[in-house]
Amino acid sequence: MKTNRIPCLALSLLLACAAHAAPDAPPAPAATLSLGPLFGDHAVLQRDKPVPIWGHAAPGASVTVSFHGRSATAVAGADGRWTARIGPFPATDTPADLTAAAQDTVVSHDVVVGDLWLCGGQSNMEFKVDDGGFTYHVNNSRAEIAASADPLIRQIQVEHAVATAPATEVKTSTWTLASPATVGKFTAVGYFFARDIHTAAGVPVGIVLSCWGGTAIESWMSDAARASTTIAAALDERWKKEKSEWPPERVTQYPADMAAWNKAEANATATHTKNPLRWPQPPATDSSPARPGGLFNAMIAPLQPAAIRGILWYQGEANVGHADEYAELFATMIRSWREGFGQGDLPFYFVQLANFGSPVEMVGRDWAKLRDAQAAVLALPETGMAVTIDIGDAANIHPRNKQEVGRRLALIARAKIYNITPEVSGPMYASATPEAGSIRVRFSHAGNEIEARDGPPLSVEVAGADRVFYPAVAEVEVDTIVASSPDVPSPVAVRYAWANAPTANLYSDDGLPVVPFRSDNW
């Protein structure tokens, strides 16, 4: 069966027991008082906002939540679920107990108040600081782990699950404090972002990790959000076709194939060799992570309406084959998530895909188109994009320099939220003006000047009215570039780094890369 999806080792490692569906029916009402998993020992609560706290109790029970001298009361519904809103609280690294009391009492210890960031996406967000495997670890992972002792950086991870309707319950790990014993299992991008923000802002930082390798954006959208797009029918028809291409015997065989692969993978990890088995693609069923809406239902909906500071997103690789759909889907997802969390225009910062593919091939454009679609959502308020076109690995879809990815995301937050630094962005295309035999490009966010590193500007192309692009010679003139080609007497369009894996060497004077661009819309 052919597929546009990219199988990622991170997906397979976390599919150890195969994809499982979250129950669609609500659980039986709980007679025992409980707090939701986000509010367990070592939790980080969001500062400066009212904080919804929820859990279960006997139907009709009155539950009082107490924290730092304040309390709020809620009554459990017929399904046993209750939600109390408490606070707001200022940031504090002084730990306190969070207590819920009804006929019995539940206490969570060592709870602090700071900033809570939801980290979502696919395998490059799931990529750990060092998972102990043969391949997946960041640059200098041993040194990073050795220096990681910081109990005010904490992570909780949502377990993989799929549901056909929005769930109210979610399974998670416990809250984990960053330390040399634990940080190897933290999301690398999220951890390096959190480390930067904690150092700069001086507040506890919590990471809520909810992602799944190899998954497309439509899996992370609610059914209602997907249905509101102009391409809903096409998406539904594509999913119907995918399911029809899986014969029942292959669906039945999948658990055994996955078990065999996991056994071989464990042996390969232990012996520092490569797994000889081919990774078995999960079948297209309603319990598959590929099911449209399935991951939103199981892994995002139950987190709403948690009080959070913002969202970090690293995804897009699985949608490269349908880049023309991505801008609409991405913008719709952002708006719908914000609506679900009910905190206005929550900051939403994302990673533009890095260079990947043949570095000498300037014909392949699928990744360039996806990057273009990602950049389009910057039209939404309170969004920011970390450009990584210069720090990827053309031969590896999972580049290891996650430190710089986290830093570039943190630069956005430091400027937009924390007011620690001036607003920072790499130069972005503003306009292109034909001149005598050349074309001049102007930028926004260019700073004082643009620089080309290690030689003249590379990966620049120009085209005339015939719309045929040729490699161009380009020169930097202060904060503009001028491009020309002997094959194009009268250029009318220009592109930079607009390919799958271009060599990108243009930067602002503050060291951030020029955002890949094209002046045309051909």
Which tokens is 441 given?
A: 């490009």
Which residues lie below 8 Å from residue 300, measured CB to CB, with a gap of 6+?
120, 210, 220, 337, 340
Reading the chain (522 residues) residue by residue, the pLDDT tens digits are 333 343 443 333 333 334 344 445 555 555 689 999 999 999 999 999 999 999 999 999 999 999 999 999 999 999 999 999 999 999 999 999 999 999 899 999 999 999 999 999 999 999 999 977 656 689 999 999 999 999 999 999 999 999 999 999 999 999 999 999 999 999 999 999 999 999 999 999 999 999 999 999 999 999 999 999 999 999 999 999 999 998 888 889 988 998 998 898 888 877 878 889 987 888 899 999 999 999 999 999 999 999 999 999 999 999 999 999 999 999 999 999 999 999 999 999 999 999 998 766 666 689 999 999 999 999 999 999 999 999 999 999 999 999 999 999 999 999 999 998 877 789 999 999 999 999 999 999 877 789 999 999 999 999 999 999 999 999 999 999 999 999 999 999 999 999 999 999 999 988 999 999 999 999
Confidence at residue 215, expressed as pLDDT on a 0 to 100 scale: 95
Q: Is there a cis peptide before residue 52, judged by omega within 30 degrees of 0?
A: no
Question: Is there a contact between 462 and 439 (Cβ–Cβ < 8 Å)?
Answer: yes
Fill in the DSSP letter of residue 514: P
> What 3-state class would DSSP assign to 112?
strand
Confidence at residue 448, expressed as pLDDT on a 0 to 100 scale: 78
Confidence at residue 9, expressed as pLDDT on a 0 to 100 scale: 37
Taking the CA atoms of 302, 417, 153 and 50 in sequence, report the sign of the dihedral they define: negative
Question: Is there a contact between 125 and 187 (Cβ–Cβ < 8 Å)?
Answer: yes
- Size (the chain), residues: 522
Q: Please report, as a single letter, which amino acid is at residue 469.
A: F
> By C-alpha distance, which of 53, 57, 58 is closest to 38?
53
Domain ranges of the chain: 428-518
Cα dihedral 176/403/420/208 (nearest 10): -30
Q: Which residues pair with 104 in a beta bridge?
A: none
